[in-house]
Amino acid sequence: MASKPRTLYQKIWDAHVVERRDDGTCLVFIDRHLVHEVTSPQAFEALRLAGREVRRPDLTLAVPDHNVPTTPRMAADGTRIPIDDPQSAQQLAALERNVEQFGIRYFGATAKEQGIVHVVGPEQGFSLPGATIVCGDSHTACHGGIGALAFGIGTSEVEHVLATQTLLLTPSRTMEVRVEGELGPGVTPKDLILHIIGVIGTAGGTGHVIEYRGRVFEEMSVEGRLTVSNMSIEAGARAGLIAPDDSVFDYLKGRPLAPQGEDLDAAVDYWRTLRTDEGAEFDKSITILARDVEPTVTWGTSPEDVVPIGGTVPDPADFADPSKQDAARKSLDYMGLTPGTSMRDIAVENIFIGSCTNSRIEDLRAAAKVLRGRKIANGIRWAIVVPGSGLVKLQAEAEGLDKVFTDAGLEWREPGCSACLGMNPDKVPMGERCASTSNRNFVGRQGPGSRTHLVSPAMAAAAAVTGRLTDVRELEGELQA
């Protein structure tokens, strides 16, 4: 008898269940555990108190990213520049102590491989298709872009994984987001995922693992897939998935921690089976038409508050749901915006190009393409480009992109989470606006009183040039009829 058709999620899940319990929970094997400084200290401390070891240090990789300043970390004489903020310095020191004591692979603040944990994982070939990947961080969903089942966990679960390399989980429901057709010129993976979140809402994926399907994703670069999957969590989903294919296998070839030679060939044979079977059913399914997607920006304080760049600030009264009306009013008040204002008339003072959503080499190339030969507008007070890792930084420098940015008047920084969230010195001043390539526009996210407009790297670059939210297609001379 032929076996029942399964979704990609179900295949990965089934391959990792160690034990099914009567109450429906399952003990699941975890292939890869990423660790950063924010959510790990108590977990290590608990292990220490219990006298336990890390079960599989070989499957664990740690890197500091949230608290590191993005200004130079090493003095000319090769000594480390101390971190000013005592709490950040303490977080980093704790991580260093923990990785040393427990024997965990570590890329420290001055290593060239250091970077944002979700950039480093795929880049090193540590994150692999079909793997279960966890990290004490909600944007672990990112790694679903290469076909891994990857999700964020809490600190007590971090401890559980460190101690046992397993987790007790309940299966998720499955959701298909099918995108039909092709994206137009100037429309990027970031615009697509912002649009999708606008359609399904921040609760649309709750309890589900989303699989993104359709030709758009098959033709999308691996970097773009990581961008899309990264923001699955902003749609409420547990994780995102895109079926791995040759682009992913080619991307992983030769990466230091990926399988090599015959091992890689064997792995690829298995990875090719990781596709949703014909006839497999999803619990929920939605279809998006790619031609409906424009360069997209947010107007409010939730990632679902999106509008095409050609649109206007919405009127709260136009929302059907009274709670949405109320939320929109509060958002507009916080954002200092008036209904009916054209999005293209909104001036910004700050530009942030970075974060685990958009700091890979392709993102920097897209921003540099717009900025080449141009200058940032007078009204821009602060504009920074923060590569996702030291290796992205080196690659960008080899391509001369750093020069394009600095010639245009932007600052070129060291890798880290930076202004994506206010846990390090990079903050947007109170009451000021930022065109940001990050993933969250929450109240106070980029610093107390900061106002965030989420955009793609090309759109952030365009805003830098004009000093206001701008349709990048105009700058690229690609404005469509």
Ligand X SMILES: CC(C)[C@H](C(=O)O)[C@@H](O)C(=O)O
Please give the annotated binding residues for [4Fe-4S] cluster, written as ranges: 356, 417, 420
Using CB under 6 A, which of 11, 16, 66, 451 touches ligand SF4? 66
Tell me the two tokens of residue 224: 């773009």
The CA distance from 241 to 243, in Å, is: 6
Candidate ranges 3-11, 42-50, 132-140, 361-369; the one touching ligand X (CB under 6 A): 132-140
Per the annotation, where are the binding residues? 356, 417, 420
Residue 152 interacts with, from ligand SF4, ligand X, none (CB under 5-8 Å by kind): ligand X
Number of C-beta neighbours around residue 375 at 10 A: 13
Distance CA 18, CA 106 (A): 28
Question: Shortest distance, CB of residue 21 to ligand SF4, whole angstroms?
Answer: 32
Determine how β-strand 60-62 pairs with β-strand 149-152.
unpaired
76 within 8 A of 103, measured Cβ to Cβ: no
Interface segment toward ligand X; rule CB under 6 A; list 1-9, 135-143, 234-242, 429-437: 135-143
- For 233-253, the three-class secondary structure string (H helix, E strand, C coil) is HHHCCCEEECCCCHHHHHHHC
**Interface segment toward ligand X; rule CB under 6 A; list 136-144, 224-232, 424-432, 468-476:** 136-144
Closest to ligand SF4 by CB, 337 vs 420, is 420
Cβ neighbours of 441 (radius 10 Å): 27
**DSSP β-bridge partners for residue 374:** none
238 lies in the binding site for ligand X (CB under 6 A): no
Nearer to ligand X, 121 or 152 (CB): 152
What does 116 bind: ligand X, ligand SF4, none (CB cut-off 5 to 8 Å by kind)? Answer: ligand SF4
Joined together, the tokens standing for residue 180 give: 């039909």
Residue placing its CB nearer to ligand SF4 in the complex, 139 or 433: 139
Q: Please give the Cα distance from 222 to 251 (Å, whole number).
A: 7
Site for ligand X in 22-61 (CB under 6 A): 38-39
Site size for ligand SF4, by CB under 6 A? Answer: 13
Q: Which two tokens stand for residue 357?
A: 């959503």
Give 288's contacts (C-beta < 8 A, 6+ positions apart).
177, 178, 179, 180, 192, 195, 196, 199
Stretch that binds ligand X, among 2-10, 134-142, 161-169, 469-477 (CB under 6 A): 134-142
Q: Is 217 helix (H, G, I), strand (E, B) or coil?
A: helix
Least Å distance, CB 136 to ligand SF4, is 10
Instruction: Report the residue from 167, 384, 417, 460 that binds ligand SF4 according to the rule CB under 6 A.
Output: 417
Residue 152 near ligand X by CB under 6 A: yes
Q: Which does 227 bind (CB under 5 to 8 A by kind): ligand SF4, ligand X, none?
A: none
Question: What is the x/- site pattern for ligand X, positions 258-297, by CB under 6 A?
Answer: ----------------------------------------
* Closest approach of ligand X to the CB of residue 145, in Å: 16
Can you list the positions of beta strands (E) in 172-271?
A: 173-180, 208-213, 239-241
Query: Look-up: residue for tokens 């649309």?
Result: 204
Among 355, 450, 452, 456, binds ligand SF4 (CB under 6 A): 355
Distance separating alpha carbons of residues 350 and 362, to the nearest angstrom? 22
Compare residues 70 and 166 and give the one whose CB is closer to ligand SF4: 70
Specify the residue, 10 or 40, whose C-beta has the smaller distance to ligand X: 40
Whether 28 and 380 have beta carbons less than 8 Å apart is answered as no
Residue (39 or 70) nearer to ligand X, CB: 39
Q: Is the Cβ of residue 62 or residue 356 nearer to ligand SF4 in the bound state?
A: 356
Residues 389 to 448 in contact with ligand X, rule: CB under 6 A: 421
C-beta separation of 290 from 192 below 8 A: yes
- Report the residue number, 146 or 268, with the smaller CB distance to ligand SF4: 146
What single DSSP character describes residue 319? -
Compare residues 47 and 421 and give the one whose CB is closer to ligand SF4: 421
Q: How many CB atoms lie within 10 A of CB 397?
A: 13
Is 109 or 267 the residue whose CB approaches ligand SF4 more closely?
A: 109
Region 131-190 residues binding ligand SF4, contact defined as CB under 6 A = 137, 139
Among ligand SF4, ligand X, none, what does residue 355 contact (CB within 5–8 Å per kind)?
A: ligand SF4
66 near ligand X (CB under 6 A): yes
Question: DSSP for 15-66?
Answer: HHEEEE-TTS-EEEE-SEEEE-TTTSHHHHHHHHHHTPPPS-GGGEEE---S
438 lies in the binding site for ligand SF4 (CB under 6 A):
yes
Q: What are phi and psi of 212, to 5 degrees?
A: -90, 125
Q: Which does 457 bind (CB under 5 to 8 A by kind): ligand X, ligand SF4, none?
A: none
Distance CA 312, CA 205 (A): 27
CB 239 within 8 A of CB 152: no
Between the two ends of the chain, the Cα-to-Cα distance in Å is 55
What residues make contact with ligand SF4 under the rule CB under 6 A?
65-66, 116, 118, 137, 139, 355-356, 417, 420-421, 438-439
What residues make contact with ligand X under the rule CB under 6 A?
38-39, 66, 137-139, 152, 421
